[in-house]
Amino acid sequence: MNLVHFVRNGNASLGRLLDRFQSVFALGARWYVSWQFLKSGYLKITSWDSTLYLFQNEYHTPLLPPHIAAVTGTFGELFFPTLLVVGFANRFGALGLFAVNAMAVISYRQVLLADGYEAALAQHVLWGTLLTFLVIYGLGKLSLDHLLRDKQATPPLAAATATRGG
C-alpha cells in the first residue's frame, strides 16, 4: 500500500512540476508550426507565377478552381500562423491552420502518400498533432488571448481601485 501511495504522490508532484511548462510548450509548438507555414506562404506570394503553375498542374485541390485555391491556400498559410504567433484567436487560428494542413495533404496526396515520401507526410502529421493539441488545450498563458482575458475578467471598479492604491 505504501508503494501505491508513493507512486501517486510522485505522479502528482511530477504533474505539478510539468504543468508549469504547459504555456512554454504551447508557445514553442505554435511558433514551430507557424514558422513552417509562414515560410511556405511567403514563398508562394513572392513567386506567384510558380504558385499558380503548381496549383494548376501539381496540387489537386478538390472543389476549388486552381486560381482560387492558390489565393485561399496562400492566405491561410499567412493569416492563421500570424494569429498563432501573437496568440490571438487561439483556437480559431489553430483550427484554421489545421484545415490548411489537411488540405495540403489532400491536394498533394499523389506525392505525400507515395513510397519514399514518408518523412514529408510525417511532417504534416506532426504539425496536425501539435495543432490538435493547441485546439483542445489552447495557447496557454503566453498569449495575447490570455492577456486580454485577464483584463476583461477584472471588473472596472476593482481595476480603478487597484490603480489608485485604495
Is 52 part of any domain? yes
Is 134 part of any domain? yes
Is 64 part of any domain? yes
Interatomic CA distance for residues 6 and 12, integer angstroms: 10
Interatomic CA distance for residues 30 and 101, integer angstroms: 14
Q: What is the mean pLDDT of each successive set of 10 residues along the chain, which is 166 residues long?
A: 81 89 94 97 97 95 94 98 95 97 93 91 96 93 87 61 52
Is 159 part of any domain? no
pLDDT value for 165: 53
> Using CB atoms within 10 A of its CB, is residue 88 exposed (0-12), middle (13-18) or buried (19+)?
middle
For 82, phi then psi, to 5°, come to: -65, -40
pLDDT value for 56: 96
- Number of folded domains in the chain? 1
Q: Which three cell numbers stand for residue 4?
A: 501505491
Comparing C-alpha atoms, which of 40, 56, 34 is closest to residue 131?
34
> What is the rounded radius of gyration, in angstroms, for the C-alpha atoms of the chain?
21
Is 53 part of any domain? yes
pLDDT value for 166: 46
Is 165 part of any domain? no
Interatomic CA distance for residues 130 and 7, integer angstroms: 29
